[in-house]
Amino acid sequence: MDSLEKRLKDRGVKPTAVRLLILKKMLSGKEAFCLRSLEDALDTVDKSTLSRTITLFHEKLLIHSIDDGSGTMKFSVCSSDCMCSLGDLHVHFNCRKCEQTFCLESISIPSVQLPKGFLLENVNFVLKGLCDSCSKFAT
Ligand SMILES: [Zn+2]
Ligand SMILES: [Zn+2]
């Protein structure tokens, strides 16, 4: 497991205290964060700093964004070797009960055979249902 500092440096991001704090928070759970939930979790961090940092992390491919259909963009930390290319994309899972979104990194997106002339640029593959915690209490 790489140190947080190394993960930032590897992506060309200068490891400042606040960036380390934000990255650490994002790695603390297995769920993806929206800007709002990060603001709540890191209330000592200035909101504009937080949003600038997320933009920077995103540009540097340190995190990827997830449109889970909730209307709020969520973000999750990429694995160290992820280049956010089509081949690196994985399936996401949105739980209807706890409303968290999870990266299912072990499941890659099935390749699709597009009709002639169609050019694939991005894929958004979100499964919906109950996560492993919520399914225990499902009736
Ligand atoms: Zn759940
Ligand atoms: Zn993901």
**For the whole model, what pTM was predicted?**
0.87
pLDDT at 2: 61
- pLDDT at residue 22 in the model: 97
pLDDT score, position 121: 86
**For position 139, what pLDDT does the model report?**
62
CB atoms within 10 A of CB 54: 21
Ligand nearest to the CA of 109: 2
pLDDT at 111: 83
Q: What distance in angstroms lies between residue 95's CA and the mean position of ligand 1's atoms?
A: 5
Q: What pLDDT, on the 0 to 100 scale, is given for residue 7?
A: 93
Other CB atoms within a 10 A radius of the CB of residue 88 amount to 16
**pLDDT of 88:** 81
If 0-12 CB within 10 Å is exposed, 13-18 middle and 19+ buried, where does residue 66 land?
A: buried
* Backbone φ and ψ of 103, nearest 5°: -85, 125
Ligand 1 centroid, distance to 63 Cα (angstroms): 22
CA of 18 to the centre of ligand 1 (A): 29
The confidence score (pLDDT) of residue 77 equals: 94
Positions in the chain short of pLDDT 70: 1-2, 139
Using alpha carbons, list the distances in angstroms from residue 108 to 32, 65, 95, 112, 128.
17, 16, 19, 12, 16
Please tell me the predicted confidence (pLDDT) of residue 116.
97
| Residue ranges with CB less than 5 Å from ion ligand 2 | 76, 103
pLDDT number for residue 29: 87
